Amino acid sequence: MRTKLSIAMVLSLAAMPAAAQQQPQRTIRFAAMDENRDGAISRQEWRGSAQSFRTHDWNGDGVLSGDEVRVGARRSNDPREPDPFDSDQRDYQFTDWTARGFTAVDHDRNGRVTRDEWHFDIEDFRRADHNRDGWLSRAEFLGGDQSTDDDRGDRFDYLDTNGDGRVSRAEWHGTADRFAALDDNRDGMLTRTEMRGGNQPPPDLFTSVDVNRDSVITRDEWHWSRASFDERDTNRDGRLSRSEFGEAALETRSGAYRQGHERGLVEGRQAGREDKQNGVGWDLEGQRELEQADSGYQPNIGARAEYQSGYREGFRRGYREGFGT
């Protein structure tokens, strides 16, 4: 039997704000965190790390709202300059999941991105490779394959809030389907190896970026800021050799940088050896030492920022050396 609305009820509904009338039908990502039911999520409501929150706060306004919490939404095609390139030893994260980004990494223009064409963190690739066939279709890349809410920007280190080396379902912010797809042993936990699809180091970055394998990197093979390219192109020929691509000569750097670099090399080698021996697998960007990067620093050495920069570069190089031995 139908229930008729009285005139009073109709007038009452009409007086309510549209958002309030639609409240029961509202569906947002991370809805369980929206404690005050205002359709937005503050940092205080967010259940996770600060870095994880920043990953989802696309406009940097300190709150998740609008498309940031809409199911299936994607970061807009941001016309800003790409991120700078500061080390040939980093595992860079990919952020431009747009048609423009797909074209940039699909070097042979065959409509799919293979592992050889991918020069970024393998975790990002695995999160996007929904059918696990080893390459990304345009639909997978853009999120148009019915797996739109896979939360691929939230890396393992950001999600592992209790630091136990595993990501539980409670720590996970993506869909249950994507969690299950990554959980290879079906134990209800994701390890770093499961998130990465392996525990081996990434390929040499220079070789990876040099898509046509001609031993130089041209601007159309470059994925970072133009300023980063020009800074390394010391002979101004529009191409980067391996030496130009790598770290600048240490003798040109400050004393604080050199001392930090030396300390980072030693501690990076040790960390790499330990991870390899303990079966942890490749975990460079997850190293706690890279966060502060000031181990051994004393004010009389020089600028702390310079020391940290040198330490991070030395640690990354040392980690690969230690892991490979």
pTM of the model as a whole: 0.77
Q: Are 316 and 90 in contact (CB under 8 A)?
A: yes
**Cα–Cα distance, 122 to 169 (Å, whole number):** 21
Helix axes of 255-277 and 304-324: crossing angle, nearest 10 degrees = 30
* CA distances to 179, 211, 219, 269, 283 from 275, in Å: 25, 30, 36, 10, 8
Residue 310: the pLDDT is 96
**Cα–Cα distance, 75 to 144 (Å, whole number):** 14
Residue 237: the pLDDT is 97
Residue 76: the pLDDT is 66
Residue 2: the pLDDT is 40
**Cα–Cα distance, 132 to 81 (Å, whole number):** 31
Q: Which residue has the tokens 């310079």?
A: 306
Residue 226: the pLDDT is 92
Torsion of CA 228, 229, 230, 232, to 10 degrees: 90
Q: Provide block-wise average pLDDT over 10 residues at a time, the chain (325 residues).
A: 41 42 56 91 92 89 91 66 85 87 92 93 89 91 66 87 91 88 94 87 92 94 93 95 90 94 97 92 88 95 97 96 89
Residue 77: the pLDDT is 56
